[in-house]
């Protein structure tokens, strides 16, 4: 056997060049007509909603946390509470002065707008300086 008599075991296959017209059919291997066949197409990914939920990087957008503190004024306490009653977030929700947020009792801040004449005991609430002074002046306690 001479070297010119050797034949390859497998036939060599030409490289397929796609998308340039010619003998590759109507669509040149690019599929049918439609959005995916157009140039400059933009397909929305299925996981777009998941991607949108991720927080952005610090430098791109700053995080803004919503304020979930409920504000109550002294005149509301004077109107709804009696002498010696405890003012707490749970009691404020029961009396309908504040609402629950997302199924939870919110943090409460008492502000000094209005006047109070009843001795109330304030628990688990933050108070402003003027509100604390007015509650103590009326004979109540604020922690």
Per the prediction, the chain carries an average pLDDT of 84
pLDDT of residue 79: 92
Distances (CA, A) of 120 to 15, 40, 68, 138: 88, 69, 24, 8
Domain ranges in the chain are: 70-142
Q: What confidence tier does 65 reach under pLDDT thresholds 50, 70, 90?
A: confident
The topology under which CATH files domain 70-142 is: Ribosomal Protein L15; Chain: K; domain 2 (3.100.10)
Cα separation, 31 vs 37, in Å, equals 7
φ and ψ of 132, to 5 deg: -65, -45
- Whether the per-residue pLDDT at 5 is higher than 80: the answer is yes
Of residues 98 and 32, more confidence is placed in 98
Cα separation, 105 vs 99, in Å, equals 8
Cα separation, 11 vs 1, in Å, equals 20
pLDDT digit string, tens, across residues 13-52 = 887 666 666 666 666 666 777 887 777 777 777 787 777 7
Of residues 51 and 100, more confidence is placed in 100
Nearest to 72 by CA among 20, 10, 128, 7: 128
pLDDT of residue 135: 93
Do the beta carbons of residue 93 and residue 101 sit within 8 Å?
A: no
Q: What is the DSSP string of 21-37?
A: SSSS-TTTTS-SSSGGG
pLDDT digit string, tens, across residues 126-140 = 999 999 999 999 999
pLDDT of residue 74: 93
């Amino acid at each position: 056997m001479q070297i010119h008599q050797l034949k390859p075991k497998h036939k060599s296959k030409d490289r397929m060049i796609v998308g340039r017209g010619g003998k590759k059919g109507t669509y040149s291997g690019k599929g049918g007509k439609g959005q995916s066949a157009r140039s400059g197409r933009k397909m929305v990914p299925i996981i777009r909603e998941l991607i949108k939920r991720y927080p952005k990087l610090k430098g791109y957008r700053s995080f803004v946390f919503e304020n979930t503190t409920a504000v109550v004024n002294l005149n509301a306490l004077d109107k709804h509470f009696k002498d010696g009653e405890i003012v707490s977030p749970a009691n404020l929700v029961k009396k309908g002065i504040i609402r629950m947020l997302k199924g939870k009792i919110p943090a409460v801040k008492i502000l000094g707008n209005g006047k109070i004449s009843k001795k109330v005991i304030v628990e688990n609430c933050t108070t402003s300086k003027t509100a604390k002074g007015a509650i103590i002046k009326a004979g109540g306690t604020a922690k």
